[in-house]
Amino acid sequence: MELFWRIFDTLILIAGLAYILVKYIAPFFNKRKADIIEALNKAEESEKRAQALLDDAKKQLEDVKKEMDALKEKAKSEAVIEKERIIEETKKTAAKIYERYEVLAQTELDRQKRELYEEAVSMSIELAQKIILDELTPELQEKINKKLIENIGEAIV
């Protein structure tokens, strides 16, 4: 009998535990399972949204890179145009400076030629005067003066 009561007590204990398991523990685990499934679904949905955002960000990054490349090319072409403009302006300025220099040099050459000519004429006159005074005798001077007066008289008539 004692064995019977022990088995009976054990069966009651097992039945009580089974009742508690079915009544409280099974719904707890079922609820926990549903919560975990819901959390996984939310995580999956969040992952999809994050992936969509990542794809959108990558697309925007590619667009920005393309725009940057376009801006770089535009800046390079503008720099080349500006370089050519500066070179052209420099050539024009150099040509103007060269023309001014050429005019100035020609003016200086003309002035020096005139000074040399005046100096040569002056020296020639001085030399001629010296030669004339050295070789001109009073009789020759008289002859020249008469001839000069005749020429002036003829020119007046």
What average pLDDT is seen over the chain?
89
Per residue in 88-117, is it b (16+ CB within 10 Å) or e — as a string? eeeeeeeeeeeeeeeeeeeeeeeeeeeeee
Indicate the pLDDT class of residue 155, thresholds 50, 70 and 90: confident
Token output for 6: 């022990």
The two counts, helices (H) then strands (E), for the chain are: 3, 0
- Mean of the pLDDT values across residues 33-40? 94
Q: What are the pLDDT digits (tens) for 5-14?
A: 899 889 999 9
Report the C-alpha gap between 88 and 94 in whole angstroms. Answer: 10
Structural domain spans, the chain: 2-156
Predicted local distance difference test score (pLDDT) of residue 87: 94
Place of tokens 């535009």: 74
Q: What are the pLDDT digits (tens) for 112-141?
A: 999 998 888 888 888 887 877 777 777 777
pTM: predicted TM-score of the whole model, two decimal places: 0.42
Q: Could you tell me which of 52, 11, 134, 27 has the C-alpha nearest to residue 60?
A: 52
Report the C-alpha gap between 128 and 145 in whole angstroms. Answer: 17
Token output for 78: 């503008």
